Structure 1
Amino acid sequence: MNKMTPEEIETALKPIADWQLSEADGATAIERVFRFDDFVQAIAFVNKVAERAETAGHHPDIHIHYNRVRLVLSTHDAGGVTSKDLEMAAAL
């Protein structure tokens, strides 16, 4: 799977709400912060993300800060963002 250019990523992100181009471990990535009423709701969301990620065989980096969850998607094998990342972002 080929990594996308920053321009391709920006174009592909337009219909996917609230995801942004970023960088993770020296590679392009996309990320989004989700906010919840409390920690319990945040963890419930993380558990749903984990189930979806296992099913897809594609796992985001997950950062939990009480009621906020930041997801970072990048295809490590490709060294950047691929269509797999965009598909996962759209599903979340």
Structure 2
Amino acid sequence: MAVHDVLSREQIDAELATLPGWRFRLGGLAAVLKCPTSAMALELLARIGELAQKANHHPDVDWRYDTLFVALSSHDAGSRVTARDAALAKSISAAGKDAGAVEEPSRLRSLEITMDTDNIEAIAPVWAAALGFVAGAPDDLRDPARRLPTLWFQQTATPNANRFHLDIYVPASEAHKVLAAVEEAGASLDRSHAPSFVIATDAQGNRLCICSEEGRDA
């Protein structure tokens, strides 16, 4: 089942059309559920646990006071999005509605640390040992507990003098607002790779990328 129920990007977009509070990011589905009270957030967390146990498919849920940050992907399918993720997302949204939760996709953010290198194999083992990470895709390392940001190695023959930068993923629906704020704060923007990502450079030459789900495969 892990192989056969993986969704294409077109299928993911079709599912998201019925899930207005969810977004596709970094290979998974994500939502933010804000509850009326902290106690109600805990009750919703317990309900999500029940739904997950019944489906035998378990999301990552981060409880922060009155808000739950939920992420769904299928580990047995290489952390890709499957039909099981879409089905559980629908169940979670229904449970959230019953609990009086408000979906706030504008608050979604995820972070990936990026390092320029001309030889991934020469350096990846050092970082894996130091961080306790494991190989994910051929060009990244991931926290097995899925708590810390992914470390992605950007293969390039001409590494930037500042080899580290941050890839900040935001929903495509919010990207223009974030980019406007970043530019107003003093960054210069390189939009040559938009809408997948826009390179922002601060006044001291430090780079970051504002990334969205647009133009990306599942």
Query: TM-score scaled by structure 1?
Result: 0.89
Q: 2:18 aligns with which of 15, 19, 42?
A: 15
| Count of aligned pairs | 88
Contact 1:39 1:66 in 2 (8 A): yes
**Which has the larger Rg?**
2
The CA distance in 2 between the partners of 1:37 and 1:90, in whole Å, is 21
CA distance in 2, matches of 1:87, 1:53: 11
Report the more deviating stretch, 7-16 or 66-75.
7-16
State the percentage of identical aligned residues. 27
* Distance in 1 of aligned mates of 2:54 and 2:68: 20
Specify the alignment match of 1:31 in structure 2. 30
SS at match of 1:77: helix
Q: Is 1:87–2:91 an aligned residue pair? A: no
Answering whether residue 74 of structure 2 is matched by residue 75 of structure 1, we say: yes
Separation (CA, whole Å) in 1 of partners of 2:11 and 2:53: 26
1:6 aligns with 2:5: no
Q: How far apart are residue 77 of structure 1 and its match?
A: 0.6
The RMSD of aligned alpha carbons is 1.1
Q: 1:49: which partner in 2?
A: 48
Give TM-score scaled by structure 2 length: 0.39
Deviates more, 1:46-55 or 1:5-14: 5-14
Aligned AA for 2:83? Answer: S
Look up the SS of the partner of 1:34 in the other structure: strand
Deviation sequence 1:43-89 (CA, Å, 0-9, x none): 00000000111111000000111111011000011020000000001
Q: Relative CO higher for 1 or 2, CA cutoff 8 Å, sep ≥ 6?
A: 1
Q: Cα distance, 1:13 vs. partner?
A: 1.1
Contact 1:6/1:21, CA 8 A, preserved across alignment: no
Counterparts of 2:22 and 2:89, CA distance in 1 = 7
List gaps (5 residues or longer) in structure 2: 93-218
Mapped partners of 2:65, 2:25: distance in 1? 22
